[in-house]
Amino acid sequence: MIRLLKKEMKLAASPLSYLFIVFGLMAFVPGYPILVSAFFLCLGLFQSFQAAREANDITYTALLPVAKADVVRAKYLFCGFIQLCYFMLTVAVTLIRMTVLSEAAVYRSNPLMNANLVYLGFVLLILGLFNGIFIGGFFRTAYQFAKPFVAFIVAAFLVVGLGETLFHIPGMAALNAFGFAHIELQVCVLLLGAGLYFLLTLISIQKAMRDFERINL
């Protein structure tokens, strides 16, 4: 499994998958829907799937003396690694926003989503949707990925729209809290996002392994 993961990282991965990790810094940008950064990270991962398909990577890997299930796991592990790097950077930026920059006027006057723990929960939801919709959809054929990616785009931007809308609803302004205000609510949304991420990913892995096992390469 470790060797397969190294193969993914060194041979199959597009440089954009690594480069787009820096979109975690977008949480510093005022007046911008910062949830879009999670979509950009997923766009970078999509480039790796596209490059791998053009190189017939799946067929090559399946010809190696490895189980098909391990091929699937390696893809998910690679994506999970990139997502973890991005998420750690996003957490660091968010904590700076919640502490050092919590009173900055440029953020206080920002009408869009604030960088707090609620934001991190929504980020995890988008990443989970990528794993569940796109990666899971890709392994139905191990070749076609246009429809799964379009479906993910629709789902991701629905989440972005939801995140940018909810706190404008009367009684829900606490979702856009600054600093550590309403911290209990913030933690609950973060935990919910984390739970959905792991649930979507685990369900997707199991389904992808079954689908890929049935494919005759």
Share of the chain above pLDDT 70, in %: 99
Q: Hey, what are 26's tokens?
A: 């977008």
Q: Where are the alpha helices (DSSP H) in the chain?
A: 2-7, 15-19, 36-54, 57-62, 68-98, 105-108, 117-129, 136-138, 146-166, 183-214
Given a cut of 70, whether residue 217 has pLDDT beyond it is no
Hey, how many other C-beta atoms are within 10 angstroms of the C-beta on 193?
22
Report pLDDT for 143.
85
Count the helix, strand and coil residues of the chain and give each as a percent rounded to the nearest 5.
Answer: 75, 0, 25
Sign (positive/negative) of CA torsion 121, 125, 128, 130?
Answer: negative
Question: What is the tens place of the pLDDT at every residue in 93-137?
Answer: 999 999 999 999 999 999 999 999 999 999 999 999 999 999 999
Question: What is the tens place of the pLDDT at every residue in 128-171?
Answer: 999 999 999 999 988 888 999 999 999 999 999 999 999 999 99
Hey, how many other C-beta atoms are within 10 angstroms of the C-beta on 63?
10
Given a cut of 80, whether residue 62 has pLDDT beyond it is no
More confident residue, 61 or 29: 29
Average pLDDT over residues 19-40: 96
Residue 137 near residue 145 (C-beta atoms within 8 A):
yes
Residue 156 near residue 129 (C-beta atoms within 8 A):
yes
Given a cut of 90, whether residue 37 has pLDDT beyond it is yes
User: Residue 68 — very low, low, confident or very high, per pLDDT cuts 50/70/90?
Assistant: confident
Q: Rounded mean pLDDT of the chain?
A: 93
Vertex 148 angle, CA 76 and 192, to 5°: 60
Q: Closest Cα to residue 82, out of 163, 24, 34?
A: 24
Strand, helix or coil for residue 171 = coil
Question: What is the tens place of the pLDDT at every residue in 8-23?
Answer: 788 788 999 999 999 9
Share of the chain above pLDDT 90, in %: 77
